[in-house]
Structure 1
Amino acid sequence: MATIDRQSATLALAHALAAAERGLPVIPLSATKLPALRSPHHGEDPPIHCRGACGRPGHGVHDATTDPAAVRALFAAAPRATGYGIACGRPPHRLIGIDLDFDTARGKDSMAALQQLAERHRFTIPPTITVLTPSGGRHLWLTGPPDVAVPNSASRLAPGIDIRGFGGYLVGPGSVTAHGTYRLAPGTAHLTPAPCPRTLLHLLTPPTRLRRPRRPTDHRPASHQGAGGRGQGLIQFVRSAREGQRNTSLFWAACRAYEHGFGDDLADGLTAAAVHTGLSEQEARAAIASAARLTTGHPGHP
């Protein structure tokens, strides 16, 4: 087993270096498909939302790099890495990953759902790099324009179709996981990531929402303002967070709110809930702004 692990680690580094040479920023992954390096801020309370500014490795996708020496250093620090992740939304390719699941229990292939979506909205899915996953799904690689930040989403486009955009990553071909190996689909290895069709890009990018100024006469409790009743479960989730989980719970809830299009409207309620748990208002608003940047590519104004 140790020999196999060493072989997997060596192959993972080789594949990662090849991807970096093509301009794809990479990070080492464990067999669970998660970043292989532990956060240098693990156990700190309150949690620090560092994105690598401290200079130490262990910040997930924020560690991604195309520099060969830096890639080798990351893998040297993660000797049990068996795969690599490719950061999406980063120049020069600004990769957009279309993650198509295959439900073996129901025999449903989300590729068919994507094709139906293409027919309905009259766009063509271009030939592009395709990666086959161990579960029978596939990843389609597309590229986006420099002025558009595609957010991550799960089944928002259609059931079984997840999107990997800015702040997300794709498991690279050649990676070995606990469930099998990710491989390039036959006939696509010679291709380059194709530009995302304009219509599909529009579907992947939620419209920018303008926050409605609160009227001076609006005296409703903060937990009921703005979202028209939406997101109350997220607010309660934040309010029930225990010490040591407060910042993480707030960040997770804010990401979900922005993914569903009412993050700005729910920001005050989330802030009040976080303050109730013991966070300062400044900490709460900083976490919400980080969630806005991660999920929409634009700074939040909570």
Structure 2
Amino acid sequence: MSDDLMRAALAAAQRGWHVFPLRPGTKRPALHGETACPRTGPCAEGHRKWEVRATTDPDRIRAAWQRAPFNVGIATGPSGLLVVDLDVPKTNSSMDAPCGATTFKALCERTGQAVPRTRTVRTASSGQHLYFTAPAAARLHNTAGTLAPLVDTRAWGGYVVAAGSAVDGTRYEVQGPALLRALPDWLKRTLVPPHPVNRPAAVPAARVHRPYVDAALAQETAAVTTAPEGRRNATLLRAARALGRFVASGDLTHDEVEMPLQRAGESAGLSATECRTTLRSALDWSITHNQTRTGVAA
């Protein structure tokens, strides 16, 4: 079993896919977390997460898989992959719900597209992973249910269990032809909606310049950019709520707040989708709660 898993890791690396060990029989990374980091070896200059430590180096792979029968994780972002995860209902109460393969097929039909044929891996839960090469011009991140119910995607910040690994005694296996296709343009358009940084900001002609408004914007943007892991989304939420009062008062436009915070959130490590969702909610809340005070809603 250990030799088979080592061969699976080496085969993935030969394709240019960056691999790292998962705990035997599970989908959990076998590498230490930040709180347990010894700050030595690969982490001598600071903790390095599994996505950074994933490798295509055959010597490193052999050394790692000689230690234990690790499952094989593929870091999708560094590997240039986007994987569509077609899941199955998890609980007995939802067994009548359509599976991800069904909802994805319905999505394809609604958009007038055929279900893409590409490298497909059957998962341990009888779901499917559809592998695509990710577009070089767009840094895609993970999504959850964005395309359809029980349809997730794995890209930067995500990983998948490689074929040849086994979870709960069931092996991940390649189904059908192993040809790897590029992400279809229609799927890319769905996953990359118009970005706020691409929209021109409308600036009110008669607005009075207030230095403290600019200072607040700069301070909150910097706080989001430097937010530590585990506090990034909360910092983005707080910053948007703090700056939303300037939108309510007319000192800043919605885009003048949303655009720099979106860039700051993505720079800190949040996905574009996470940033958009948090900003939309926080700004709407702040504008609503500051309207009566600024006289917008008397």
Is this a same-fold pair by TM over 0.5? Answer: yes
Alpha-carbon distance change, 56 to 43 in structure 1, aligned in 2, over 3 angstroms: closer
- Aligned counterpart, 2:182: 195
Flag structure 1 segments of 5+ consecutive residues without an equivalent: 1-6, 227-245, 255-262, 273-284
Alpha-carbon distance change, 270 to 34 in structure 1, aligned in 2, over 3 angstroms: farther
d(CA) in 2 for partners of 1:128, 1:181:
20
1:70, CA displacement in angstroms? Answer: 2.4
- Aligned counterpart, 1:28: 21
Q: How does 1:4-23 map to 2 (within 5 A)?
A: 7=1, 9-23=2-16
- Aligned counterpart, 2:148: 158
d(CA) in 2 for partners of 1:55, 1:13:
29
1:37, CA displacement in angstroms? Answer: 1.4
1:184, CA displacement in angstroms? Answer: 1.3
Alpha-carbon distance change, 288 to 165 in structure 1, aligned in 2, over 3 angstroms: closer
1:83 aligned onto 2:71? yes
Note if contact 2:124-2:166 (Cα within 8 Å) is conserved in structure 1. no
- Aligned counterpart, 1:70: 60
Q: Secondary structure at the match of 2:3?
A: helix
Identity %: 31
Q: Secondary structure at the match of 2:230?
A: helix
Say how many residue pairs are matched.
Answer: 232
1:268, CA displacement in angstroms? Answer: 1.8
Letter in 1 for 2:192: T
d(CA) in 2 for partners of 1:15, 1:56:
30
Alpha-carbon distance change, 213 to 55 in structure 1, aligned in 2, over 3 angstroms: farther
Q: Aligned match of 1:204 in 191, 216, 219?
A: 191
Q: How does 1:135-174 map to 2 (within 5 A)?
A: 135-174=125-164
Which is greater in Rg? 2
* TM-score, structure 2 as length reference: 0.65
1:109 aligned onto 2:99? yes
Compare 118-127 and 17-26 and name the one that shifted more.
118-127
d(CA) in 1 for partners of 2:241, 2:20:
32
Flag structure 2 segments of 5+ consecutive residues without an equivalent: 221-226, 244-262, 280-298
1:97 aligned onto 2:83? yes
Alpha-carbon distance change, 90 to 43 in structure 1, aligned in 2, over 3 angstroms: closer
- Aligned counterpart, 1:290: 268
Compare 196-205 and 106-115 and name the one that shifted more.
106-115
* TM-score, structure 1 as length reference: 0.64
d(CA) in 1 for partners of 2:30, 2:265:
24
Q: How does 1:270-281 map to 2 (within 5 A)?
A: none
After superposition, give the CA deviation of every residue in 1:137-182 in whole Å (9 maximum; x if it has no partner).
1101111221112210111211100110112111101112236221
After superposition, give the CA deviation of every residue in 1:38-69 in whole Å (9 maximum; x if it has no partner).
13x4247xxx9xxx674688621221111211
1:16, CA displacement in angstroms? Answer: 0.3
1:250 aligned onto 2:231? yes
Alpha-carbon distance change, 267 to 97 in structure 1, aligned in 2, over 3 angstroms: farther
After superposition, give the CA deviation of every residue in 1:201-258 in whole Å (9 maximum; x if it has no partner).
1111233223969986697xx8xxx9xxxxxxxxxxxxxxxxxxx944313657xxxx
Alpha-carbon distance change, 287 to 148 in structure 1, aligned in 2, over 3 angstroms: closer
1:177 aligned onto 2:170? no
Measured on the aligned residues, the alpha-carbon RMSD in Å equals: 3.8
d(CA) in 1 for partners of 2:26, 2:50:
14
Q: How does 1:215-254 map to 2 (within 5 A)?
A: 247-251=228-232, 253=234
Which of the pair is proportionally richer in helix?
A: 2
